[in-house]
């Protein structure tokens, strides 16, 4: 009933404001053309007032469309609305979000909002109404069952275009995305992913950098160097060697890569306002990263470079017939997709291991089955407890902690409507929907009362569905999932074979900065005791 009343009121509002705007415009046109007013009520028309009423008219039209869609689509009900103090622009929510972001508790803020609104609600972001959800059924609809309704647009796409280029797999949708995915897929299907030789070389370099004297150090930075070295080696057959002897070119690339990654999210948040805030450094660094990738692509295309390994991702992509530009954008996507996500996950894991002696002890017991041998790929997969520990890390500290999609057309989400949030929800075309993986992975109704605790043992019985999406799900599921898991399992196993104890290097609480991936504030400081120190 309230939907019908609201719909009628919105329709009436639309009719009144629309008529006034149209009439004022006509009055002005007729006056200019004939020097005569159109009606005797001319003096009540005003172009200024019409301009002010235009956004009101647009808002009422959208509201009418939402209410009408809700009424006409069987079972749909209205979703909760965040109780804005400023419902026009939502400045209050923006201010809270910026404050929370600065205090490293943005994810907790969204968590509280979702808890207060039964898992789904509307909020106003500078005049644009957006959905926030942590409902597994909604996430499944967005990523899988209604995949075509929900392309990757808006902020996330803008970030990708800015940093990776227009052809990058993260920047495109529809046929272009199918094409990009098909181009990359063969690189990941090969059993070379299970070939640990390349990873092993970089793990050796990583282990060599770890202090053996029990001194505290920041493992976070070394992990980012490790993932960059290993990614570039797999992609180009040339490693940045940041852990050993980086070239000038590699250091320049790393500096540029870090800068554009940290600033791109903020730049994309500005939308078109970005034109008013040019950042020369950003543009320069984008060129630096492109030059770096270009250089290696050109070498491969000219086949000047002797193959150091039989299998290099770049050569596989080139074989697909892709243009130089496409190869560059995809390779850069793969480096971006792989470097920070894996490093962030492993940093969180080290932080936890330094504070969970029980987990560490169990892990070391399991690893001791290898009798000090380096694990093979099959052995890695059989280290059950290690696999559970990694799953639990990806649950609590999923590096891609939230994500967003945009409704391409009017569509329906299965949950979020009605007072209990369990009815279907009509979603108008153009709506941005943000989903919080952070909240989803910590929901007590889905994970039990100990959802906030790090408890790898839960994975003995838990068979996850859409309540667990560290690698996303559906057709756009992370293409590098197996590659990433193998690298991480291998590195952790080798560290535990080399060091018998991990201790915290400071008393700092774990805090994460939210960018395109999570990064640990202040790094991850630990102390290690080598096995031979008995
Ligand atoms: C812990 C490690 C990783 C995590 C948690 C992770 C997570 C994710 C997530 C959540 C997505 C979906 C993004 C979206 O739809 O907006 C994604 C996509 C993707 N990831 Fe990963 N990722 C990891 C490692 C890697 C690695 C190592 C690579 C490459 C070597 C990689 C390459 C990609 C690519 C290319 C996509 C885009 C797929 C598409 O759009 O079709 N990822 N990843």
Probe target for ligand 1 pocket from 177, 338, 469, 480, with the most ligand atoms within 8 Å of CB = 480
The atom number, within ligand 1, closest to the CA of 231 reads 30
Instruction: Give the pairing type, strands 518-520 and 512-514.
Output: antiparallel
Q: Tell me the angle at which helices 47-72 and 2-34 cross, rounded to the nearest 10 degrees.
A: 150
Residue 306 has pLDDT above 80, yes or no: no
Q: Write the DSSP symbol of residue 145.
A: I
Probe target for ligand 1 pocket from 341, 398, 401, 515, with the most ligand atoms within 8 Å of CB = 341
Q: Is the CB of 473 under 6 A from ligand 1?
A: no
The atom number, within ligand 1, closest to the CA of 333 reads 35
Percentages helix, strand, coil for the chain (3-state, rounded to 5) are 60, 10, 30
pLDDT: is 420 or 325 the higher one? 420
**CA nearest neighbour of 519 among 352, 340, 391, 355:** 340
Residues of each annotated binding site for heme: 478
Structural domain spans, the chain: 141-530
- CA distances to 100, 212, 229, 421, 469 from 404, rounded to whole Å, are 19, 43, 30, 20, 14
User: Cα(479) to centroid of ligand 1, in Å?
Assistant: 6
Compute the average pLDDT of residues 286-309. 77
Compute the average pLDDT of residues 191-204. 82
* Coil vs helix vs strand at 432: strand
Supply the pLDDT for residue 310.
Answer: 59
User: Cα(86) to centroid of ligand 1, in Å?
Assistant: 37
The first and second tokens of residue 485, run together, are 């898991």
Q: Whose CA is nearest to atom 7 of ligand 1?
A: 471
Residue 309 has pLDDT above 70, yes or no: no
Q: Which of 45-59, 271-285, 351-365 has the lowest mean pLDDT?
A: 271-285
- H or E element at residue 50: helix 47-72
* Coil vs helix vs strand at 412: strand
**CA nearest neighbour of 120 among 97, 101, 141, 149:** 141
* Coil vs helix vs strand at 518: strand
The atom number, within ligand 1, closest to the CA of 404 reads 16
| CA–CA gap between residue 370 and residue 376 (Å, rounded) | 10
Residue 17 has pLDDT above 60, yes or no: yes
- H or E element at residue 501: strand 499-504
The atom number, within ligand 1, closest to the CA of 339 reads 27
User: Cα(99) to centroid of ligand 1, in Å?
Assistant: 29
**CA nearest neighbour of 135 among 371, 432, 327, 414:** 414
Q: Whose CA is nearest to atom 24 of ligand 1?
A: 338
Q: Is the CB of 484 under 6 A from ligand 1?
A: yes
Q: Write the DSSP symbol of residue 515.
A: S
pLDDT: is 8 or 308 the higher one? 8
Supply the pLDDT for residue 154.
Answer: 73
pLDDT band (50, 70, 90) for residue 274? low
SS3 per-residue string spanning 67-124:
HHHHHHCCCCCCEEECCCCCCCCCHHHHHHHHHHHHCCCHHHHHHHHHHHCCCEEEEE
Q: Is the CB of 345 under 6 A from ligand 1?
A: yes
Residues of each annotated binding site: 478
Question: Tokens 């419902």 belong to which residue?
Answer: 87
CATH T-level fold of 141-530: Cytochrome p450 (1.10.630)
Whether residue 417 contacts residue 74, with contact meaning beta carbons closer than 8 Å, is answered with no
User: Cα(329) to centroid of ligand 1, in Å?
Assistant: 15
Whether residue 439 contacts residue 134, with contact meaning beta carbons closer than 8 Å, is answered with yes
The atom number, within ligand 1, closest to the CA of 334 reads 29
Supply the pLDDT for residue 193.
Answer: 63
Q: Is the CB of 471 under 6 A from ligand 1?
A: yes
The atom number, within ligand 1, closest to the CA of 400 reads 10
* Coil vs helix vs strand at 483: helix
- CA distances to 55, 64, 65, 342 from 6, rounded to whole Å, are 18, 8, 11, 49
| CA–CA gap between residue 1 and residue 27 (Å, rounded) | 39
Q: Is the CB of 400 under 6 A from ligand 1?
A: yes
pLDDT band (50, 70, 90) for residue 275? low
Round the average pLDDT of the chain to a whole number and report it: 92
Q: Is the CB of 405 under 6 A from ligand 1?
A: no
**CA nearest neighbour of 517 among 426, 370, 397, 391:** 397
CA distance from start to end of the chain: 76
Supply the pLDDT for residue 74.
Answer: 83
The pLDDT tens digits of the residues spanning 427-467 come to: 999 999 999 999 999 999 999 999 999 999 999 999 999 99
Supply the pLDDT for residue 279.
Answer: 82
User: Cα(170) to centroid of ligand 1, in Å?
Assistant: 9
Residue 166 has pLDDT above 90, yes or no: no
Work out the number of other CB atoms within 10 angstroms of the CB of residue 101. 16
Q: Write the DSSP symbol of residue 450.
A: T
Supply the pLDDT for residue 192.
Answer: 59
Compute the average pLDDT of residues 361-389. 96
pLDDT band (50, 70, 90) for residue 78? very high
Question: Is the entire prediction scored with pTM above 0.95?
Answer: no
Supply the pLDDT for residue 278.
Answer: 77
Compute the average pLDDT of residues 110-120. 97
| CA–CA gap between residue 475 and residue 367 (Å, rounded) | 35
The pLDDT tens digits of the residues spanning 465-522 come to: 999 999 999 999 999 999 999 999 999 999 999 999 999 999 999 999 998 899 999 9
Compute the average pLDDT of residues 355-381. 96
| CA–CA gap between residue 113 and residue 131 (Å, rounded) | 12
User: Cα(349) to centroid of ligand 1, in Å?
Assistant: 19
pLDDT band (50, 70, 90) for residue 308? low
User: Cα(493) to centroid of ligand 1, in Å?
Assistant: 23
Identify the burial level of 302 via C-beta atoms within 10 angstroms of its C-beta, where 0-12 means exposed, 13-18 middle and 19 or more buried.
Answer: exposed
Residue 363 has pLDDT above 90, yes or no: yes
The atom number, within ligand 1, closest to the CA of 398 reads 5
Supply the pLDDT for residue 207.
Answer: 98
User: Cα(481) to centroid of ligand 1, in Å?
Assistant: 7
Compute the average pLDDT of residues 358-383. 96
Q: How many H helices and E strands in the chain?
A: 19, 12
Residue 346 has pLDDT above 60, yes or no: yes
Compute the average pLDDT of residues 167-192. 86
Supply the pLDDT for residue 260.
Answer: 86
């Amino acid at each position: 009933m309230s939907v019908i009343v609201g719909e009628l009121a919105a329709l009436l509002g639309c009719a009144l404001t629309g008529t006034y705007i149209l009439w004022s415009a006509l009055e002005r046109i007729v006056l200019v053309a004939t020097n005569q007013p159109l009606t005797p009520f001319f003096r009540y028309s005003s172009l200024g007032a019409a301009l002010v009423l235009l956004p009101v008219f647009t808002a009422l039209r959208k509201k009418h469309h939402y209410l009408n869609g809700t009424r006409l689509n069987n079972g749909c009900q209205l979703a909760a609305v965040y109780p804005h103090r400023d419902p026009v622009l939502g400045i209050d929510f923006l201010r809270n979000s910026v404050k929370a972001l600065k205090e490293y508790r943005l994810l907790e803020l969204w968590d509280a909002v979702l808890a207060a609104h039964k898992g789904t609600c509307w909020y106003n972001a500078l005049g644009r109404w957006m959905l926030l959800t942590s409902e597994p059924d909604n996430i499944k609809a967005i990523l899988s069952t209604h995949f075509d309704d929900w392309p990757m647009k808006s902020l996330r796409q803008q970030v990708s275009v800015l940093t990776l280029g227009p052809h990058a797999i993260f920047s495109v949708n529809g046929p272009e995305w199918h094409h990009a995915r098909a181009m990359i897929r063969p690189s990941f299907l090969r059993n070379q992913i299970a070939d640990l030789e390349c990873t092993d070389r970089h793990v050796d370099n990583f282990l060599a950098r770890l202090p053996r004297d029990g001194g505290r150090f920041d493992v976070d930075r070394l992990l980012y160097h490790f993932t960059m070295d290993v990614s570039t080696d797999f992609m180009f057959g040339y490693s940045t060697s940041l852990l050993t002897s980086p070239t000038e070119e590699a250091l320049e690339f790393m500096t540029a890569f870090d800068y554009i990654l940290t600033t791109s999210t903020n730049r994309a948040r500005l939308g078109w306002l970005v034109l008013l805030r040019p950042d020369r450094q950003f543009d320069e660094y984008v060129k630096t990263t492109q030059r770096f990738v270009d250089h290696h692509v050109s070498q491969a295309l000219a086949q000047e470079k002797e193959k150091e390994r039989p299998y290099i991702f770049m050569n596989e992509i080139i074989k697909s017939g892709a243009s130089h530009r496409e190869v560059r954008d995809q390779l850069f996507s793969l480096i971006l997709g792989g470097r920070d996500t894996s490093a962030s996950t492993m940093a969180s894991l080290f932080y936890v291991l330094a504070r969970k002696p029980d987990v560490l002890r169990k892990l070391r017991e399991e690893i001791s089955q290898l009798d000090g041998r380096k694990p093979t790929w099959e052995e890695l997969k059989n280290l059950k407890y290690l696999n559970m520990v990694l799953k639990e890390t990806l649950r609590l500290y999923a590096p891609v902690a939230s994500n967003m999609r945009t409704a391409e057309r009017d569509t329906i989400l299965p949950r979020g409507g009605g007072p209990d949030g369990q009815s279907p929800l009509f979603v108008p075309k153009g709506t941005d929907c943000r989903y919080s993986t952070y909240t989803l992975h910590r929901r007590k109704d889905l994970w039990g009362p100990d959802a906030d605790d790090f408890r790898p043992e839960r994975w003995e019985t838990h068979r996850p569905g859409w309540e667990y999406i560290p690698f996303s799900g559906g057709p756009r599921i992370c293409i590098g999932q197996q590659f990433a898991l193998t690298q991480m399992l291998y590195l952790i196993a080798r560290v535990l074979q080399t060091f018998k104890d991990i201790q915290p290097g400071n008393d700092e609480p774990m805090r994460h900065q939210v960018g395109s991936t999570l990064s640990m504030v202040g790094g991850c400081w630990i102390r290690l005791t080598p096995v031979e120190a008995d």
